[in-house]
Amino acid sequence: MNKICTRCRVALPATKKYFYEREKSADGFRSWCKKCESNYSKEFRREHKNELNEKSKAYYALNKEDIIEQKKEYRSKHREELKEYHKKYHENVRKKLAIKK
């Protein structure tokens, strides 16, 4: 079964691959395809960058202690994963720097 995106007017299969789910709609999917949703979100974030940054800063200011505690807990729970990630990251950076020389 196909579904037409109401934004780009393209007929796509009504599946999770092309549309985000929405329980309230009759077919269970949102009206815009994933590509249109993504483009809209990118455009919105670009146009409202300053507002979103201000909101983020205000949220951090109000919740600084909680955020720091959550980050500390995450780092302690995922210590080995983070260690491996940083090791790979630094190896890649060294390789890139060696190529540039």
Q: Where are the domains of the chain?
A: 2-43, 48-100
CA distance readout (Å), 80 to 70, 74, 84, 87, 93 = 17, 11, 6, 11, 20
What digits encode the pLDDT tens for the residues 67-89? 999 999 999 999 999 999 999 99
**Has residue 99 got a pLDDT over 90?**
no
Instruction: Give the separation between CA 28 and CA 74, rounded to whole angstroms.
Output: 35
Do 35 and 9 touch, CB atoms closer than 8 A? no
**Has residue 6 got a pLDDT over 80?**
yes
For the chain, the first-to-last Cα distance in angstroms comes to 55
